[in-house]
Amino acid sequence: MKTLIDRQTLQFLVHDLLEVESLCERPAFVDHSPEIFQSVIDTAETIATKYFADHNAKADQNEPVFDGKKVTMIPEVKIAYEHYADAGFLGATFSAELGGMALPKLVNSAAQSYFLSANPSTVAYPFLTSAAAGVIEKFGSQEQKDRFLRPMLAGRYTGTMALTEPDVGSSLGDLRTSATPAKDGTYLIKGHKMYISGGDHELSENIVHLVLARIKGAPKGVKGISLFIVPKKPISEEAEVSLTDNDVVLAGLLHKMGYRGTTSTVLNFGENDRCVGYLLGEANHGLSYMFQMMNEARIGVGLGAAVMGYRGFLESLDYAKQRTQGRLPSNRNPDSPPVAIIQHADVKKMLLQQKCYSEGALALCLYASKLVDDLETHEDDKQRESASELLDLLTPIVKAWPSHYGPRANDLAIQVLAGAGYTKDYPLEQLYRDNRLNPIHEGTNGIQALDLTGRKLWQKGSQGLKELAMRVQATIDEAKACKPLAANANAVAGVLKDLQQTTFQLASVLQQKGPELALANASEYLDSFGGLVVGWLWLAQAVKAQALLDERKNGTMGQYSEAFLQGKIQACNFYMNTELPRLAAQLTHFNTFDDTALAMQEAWF
Amino acid sequence: MKVLVAVKRVIDYNVKVRVKPDNTGVDLTNVKMAMNPFCEIAVEEAVRLKEKGVATEIVVVSIGPKAAQEQIRTALALGADRGIHVETDEEIQSLAAAKLLKAVVDKEQPSLVILGKQSIDNDNNQTGQMLAALAGYPQGTFASEVSVDGDKVKVTREIDGGLMTVSLNLPAIVTTDLRLNEPRYASLPNIMKAKKKPLESTTPADLGVDVTPRLTTLKVEAPAQRQAGIKVADVAELVDKLKNEAKVI
Ligand SMILES: Cc1cc2nc3c(=O)[nH]c(=O)nc-3n(C[C@H](O)[C@H](O)[C@H](O)COP(=O)(O)OP(=O)(O)OC[C@H]3O[C@@H](n4cnc5c(N)ncnc54)[C@H](O)[C@@H]3O)c2cc1C
């Protein structure tokens, strides 16, 4: 069996870095225990291994087909969906009143990482369902919860998020789908949506679309967008599915380079003017509702990207230990046996980069999940508030950094295998294609950079940034007290200072010269910011690993091997010695507010 | 009808086992431990008997260190009703395990005891049989089908070259083979419910059993590495190699 995620790696992040046990002390989680958390993660591993990993390649080779009437796909997807639902994962983080398990987000993310590693395109269906259910839970009326949310959590209905239109992607304020009030309080929805994942299939009795649309007469732009529940099939009062349709028509499936097991649909709503939608929450607040949910969905995107990067790392590590080729530069004897390629420094370097990117990204996404737990369940008001501010600030990074560096790790993994990596005999080319989606959806990485530099940095008097600086500084202080890590601590401190100065500069350029110039190189800023945050989390991991190594010297063996802990420290060293200098240089460049790209003219291309 | 199921904590079947450098045993540090796969099958069978309305209570027992409670909790999450942990850090050999289980059987008076046919760590395939002898119960080993009918249990056994069906008077001992069933996994709601199920702890001393090992392990070695195979051109070459190189014919 292929390892989906190394147990020590996940355990170290969840237990040692993020101290999941401490959550059990909170009233919200008193019914839980560390053993329960572990059992949940074990069950995820079992189901992911048995029912998801089995058809990852098969689903890629056999994408869903639409014959004009029905979508068909390989049967394994439905079996996997049913196991996921039956085991209770759809409702893992929902309240007990709704039949959920009220698990911490951190534990849920750890469990999800197994499914994402096994088969990202099949798990997209239940993932979207839980995400859509989360919106209805937060903003829906009691009646809407009974009619839609319960069957969703029970696995009977699936969910989608229908934002994008053929002409409207990043700029949702321009969307055109309309909603006309009907006499009975419902709305008639009309418009076209595109790229809607899971928008049609035969996995469930019904599909609940969450559709962004503009009510007739509502203001232009983002302030006039409302959110509607639009079921594929109409739902009668008894919450039973009736046979007629709700005028939601599948215009066609899109054929993609990756995530080929997930249907990507073009949907026409209300072609016959009888598509009924139910307003969620208040009119004109749709986008903010959607974004609250998207914040968690964005952690999911980052997590998927991180885990796929990690899968590639494991595959290439395995290969590098087996494959023999060439000799070390100092050996000129042609009679000597060739070495395993893992002996070559260049290969080790590619493996270390992958380890740094993927385990660093995984740490970041799990950290963000814990912030969600903190803002929802921490007993201290102040802690809840600071977690909320910090999460707001970090969300664009949690989405964009892993989704940039996860595919980068896959690229390196292919390079480690070289010719073999380019063939379909190994799973790397699929991982690479699948992972390539992540910088695109849930807001492109370019949009995330604008969100960070144009909005998130300055929200609430930049409290998020101050909180982050404090937390980074605390780790720096801890690391400084630990001799072997002092140099690494100084490296992080240096970049933190650079980043703070750059941010200060950014604020003044924004004010004095306007956003065009100030935000022209926003992606560089996001990259440096993300790199620093991940560097901080590597430093924190090294501090924990060093402490555990010291304990070993004193005779307490603990649950990690010495090699595992050494590996954490060496990866931290590598990150500090190779990545941080690059970030520092990038910040220096950003600070010049270089306008070369901005000044480029269309005709000059 | 009360069913007693014995479960053992062993190294996970997915883990590549490493022998300790001093050849005294297997290296258990930092490895994933899990319920013995044959014991999982035993638990599953008991749960199915309960779902059919045949069994009314499932008691699960495990002998081992404190951590063995994890495997009891797993069994509880799979559908067992309560657990008994016989806590000991000693090496427990088959005979000692059988004696401890006999003591539990005396106390619990189950109608059916289900065990795995062997545990994948030591592959002894003895405990069920020894327990049957000690308790004076009939035994149906290597079960691939179990059906209870009144005060009898019909057990289809996997034997060399076929199947043998036996009918045993209850109370009886059954040991499971791989094909008996496919175990379920613990669903999240059941994991939560398991926490509230009772788990009682006892010790070999409480049960009045001397667990001193009767056998001494002299040496544990990893199997020899398999040599790469070769292709032969024809039958003549094969016969020649078997005769002259392998010297087996
Ligand atoms: C496989 C897949 C699944 C998807 N699933 C869903 C789904 O379930 N539901 C859903 O609603 N949508 C979904 N999407 C749509 C996805 O969210 C959009 O593709 C994404 O938001 C970008 O929109 P676009 O493709 O129209 O690109 P555009 O918005 O046209 O962007 C093109 C390029 O221009 C850049 N750009 C755009 N605006 C600006 C700006 N103001 N400043 C700087 N640069 C800018 C972008 O960064 C990008 O590089 C999915 C897409 C894919 C590929």
Q: Which of A523, A46, A27 is nearest to B187 (CA)?
A: A46
- Is residue A463 a part of any domain in this protein? yes
Which member of B14, B32, B77 has the closest CB to residue A39? Answer: B77
The count of C-alpha atoms lying within 13 angstroms of the C-alpha of B130, restricted to the half-sphere facing its C-beta, is 16
> How confident is the model at residue B246, as a pLDDT?
84
Residue B125 reports pLDDT greater than 80: yes
Q: Is A440 in the pocket of ligand 1 (CB under 6 A)?
A: yes
For residue B225, with 0-12 CB atoms within 10 Å meaning exposed, 13-18 middle and 19 or more buried, which class applies? exposed
Which chain B residues contact residue A43 at CB under 8 A? 185-188, 191
C-alpha distances out from residue B166 to A172, A318, A571, B140, B180, Å: 71, 49, 60, 7, 15
Work out the mean pLDDT of chain B and round it to a whole number: 94
The two beta strands, B199-202 and B82-87, are: parallel
> How confident is the model at residue A243, as a pLDDT?
54
> Is there a contact between B188 and A87 if contact means CB atoms under 8 Å apart?
yes
Please give the structure tokens belonging to residue B15. Answer: 């883990």
A446 C-alpha to ligand 1 centroid (Å)? 10
Torsion angle in degrees (nearest 10) through CA of A20, A24, A25, A26: 100
Which member of B29, B187, B191 has the closest CB to residue A36? Answer: B191
> Is there a contact between B195 and A561 if contact means CB atoms under 8 Å apart?
no
Cβ atoms of residues A400 and A409 within 8 Å: no
Which chain A residues contact residue B187 at CB under 8 A? 43, 86-88
Please tell me the distance in Å from A39's CA to the nearest CA on chain B. 7
> How confident is the model at residue B247, as a pLDDT?
85
Which chain B residues contact residue A46 at CB under 8 A? 185
With an 8 Å Cβ cutoff, the interface of chain B facing chain A consists of 14, 29-30, 32, 70, 73-74, 77, 185-189, 191-192, 194-195
Name the closest residue on chain A to residue B16, using Cα atoms. A1
> How confident is the model at residue A239, as a pLDDT?
46
Please give the structure tokens belonging to residue A345. Answer: 């420094």
State which ligand 1 atom lies nearest to the alpha carbon of A442: 17
DSSP letter at A418?
T
Which member of A7, A31, A87 has the closest CB to residue B185? Answer: A87
User: A–B: how many Cβ contacts below 8 A?
Assistant: 50
DSSP-derived secondary structure for A561-597: -HHHHHHHHHHHHHIIIIIHHHHHHHHHHHHTT--HH
- Based on its alpha-carbon atoms, the radius of gyration of chain A, rounded to whole angstroms, reads 25
State which ligand 1 atom lies nearest to the alpha carbon of A168: 26
Cα(A321)–Cα(A339) distance, integer angstroms: 9
Angle at A430 between CA A424 and CA A432, to 5 degrees: 125
Name the closest residue on chain B to residue A90, using Cα atoms. B188
Number of domains composing chain A: 1
Ligand 1 pocket test target in A127, A170, A265 with most atoms within 8 Å of CB? A170
Residue B148 reports pLDDT greater than 80: yes
A175 C-alpha to ligand 1 centroid (Å)? 13
User: Best residue in A1, A32, A40, A42 to probe B by mutation, most B CBs within 10 Å?
Assistant: A42
Rounded to 5 degrees, φ, ψ at A188 are -100, 120
Q: Is A196 in the pocket of ligand 1 (CB under 6 A)?
A: yes
- Is residue A557 a part of any domain in this protein? yes
Which chain A residues contact residue B14 at CB under 8 A? 1
> Is there a contact between B185 and A36 if contact means CB atoms under 8 Å apart?
no
Q: Is A566 on the interface with B (CB under 8 A)?
A: no
Cα(A496)–Cα(A488) distance, integer angstroms: 12
> Is there a contact between A39 and B32 if contact means CB atoms under 8 Å apart?
no
Domain that includes residue A548, residue range: 445-594
Ligand 1 pocket test target in A165, A167, A175, A440 with most atoms within 8 Å of CB? A440
User: Best residue in B191, B193, B197, B199 to probe A by mutation, most A CBs within 10 Å?
Assistant: B191
Q: Is A103 on the interface with B (CB under 8 A)?
A: yes
- Is residue A552 a part of any domain in this protein? yes
The count of C-alpha atoms lying within 13 angstroms of the C-alpha of B193, restricted to the half-sphere facing its C-beta, is 15
3-state secondary structure A417-484: HCHHHHCCCCCHHHHHHHHCCCCCCCCCHHHHHHHHHHCHHHHHHHHHHHHHHHHHHHHHHHHHCCHH
A313 C-alpha to ligand 1 centroid (Å)? 28
Which chain A residues contact residue B195 at CB under 8 A? 31, 33, 35-36
3-state secondary structure chain B: CEEEEECCEEECCCCCCCECCCCCCECCCCCCEEECHHHHHHHHHHHHHHHCCCCCEEEEEEEECHHHHHHHHHHHHHCCCEEEEEECCCCCCHHHHHHHHHHHHHHHCCCEEEEECCCCCCCCCCHHHHHHHHHCCCEEEEEEEEEEECCEEEEEEEECCEEEEEEEECCEEEEECHHHCCCCCCCHHHHHHHHHCCEEEECCCCCCCCCCCCCCCCCCCCCCCCCCCCCCCCHHHHHHHHHHCCCCC
Which chain B residues contact residue A38 at CB under 8 A? 70
- For residue A359, indicate whether it is catalytic: no
> How confident is the model at residue A236, as a pLDDT?
67
> Is there a contact between B29 and A557 if contact means CB atoms under 8 Å apart?
yes
- Is residue A537 a part of any domain in this protein? yes
> Is there a contact between A103 and B195 if contact means CB atoms under 8 Å apart?
no
- Is residue A531 a part of any domain in this protein? yes
> Is there a contact between A35 and B70 if contact means CB atoms under 8 Å apart?
yes
DSSP letter at A224?
G
Bond preceding residue B171 cis, omega within 30 of 0: yes
Ligand 1 pocket test target in A250, A293, A447 with most atoms within 8 Å of CB? A447
Q: Is A407 in the pocket of ligand 1 (CB under 6 A)?
A: no
Q: What pLDDT, in 10s, does the model give residues B131-141?
A: 999 999 999 99
Q: Is A11 in the pocket of ligand 1 (CB under 6 A)?
A: no
Cα(A102)–Cα(A48) distance, integer angstroms: 21
A443 C-alpha to ligand 1 centroid (Å)? 6
User: Best residue in A43, A79, A103 to probe B by mutation, most B CBs within 10 Å?
Assistant: A43
Please tell me the distance in Å from B75's CA to the nearest CA on chain A. 11
Cβ atoms of residues A59 and A119 within 8 Å: yes
- Is residue A145 a part of any domain in this protein? no
Cα(B116)–Cα(B106) distance, integer angstroms: 20
Q: Is A80 in the pocket of ligand 1 (CB under 6 A)?
A: no
Q: Is A139 in the pocket of ligand 1 (CB under 6 A)?
A: no
Is pTM, for the whole model, over 0.90?
A: yes
CB atoms within 10 A of CB A407: 25
> Is there a contact between B192 and A564 if contact means CB atoms under 8 Å apart?
no
Q: Which amino acid is at B91?
A: E
Cα(A557)–Cα(B198) distance, integer angstroms: 32
Please give the structure tokens belonging to residue A30. Answer: 């008193």
Average pLDDT of adjacent 10-residue blocks, chain A of 605 residues:
88 97 95 93 95 97 96 98 97 93 97 98 97 95 95 96 96 96 96 98 96 97 97 72 81 97 98 96 95 86 98 97 95 94 98 98 98 96 96 97 98 98 97 98 96 96 97 98 96 97 97 96 98 98 97 86 96 97 96 97 97
> Is there a contact between A39 and B186 if contact means CB atoms under 8 Å apart?
yes
> Is there a contact between B188 and A557 if contact means CB atoms under 8 Å apart?
no
Q: Is A173 on the interface with B (CB under 8 A)?
A: no
Which member of B14, B30, B188 has the closest CB to residue A43? Answer: B188
- Is residue A465 a part of any domain in this protein? yes
* Choice among A76, A137, A315, A442 that is catalytic: A442
- Is residue A328 a part of any domain in this protein? no
For chain A positions 434-493, those within 8 Å of chain B (CB to CB) are: none
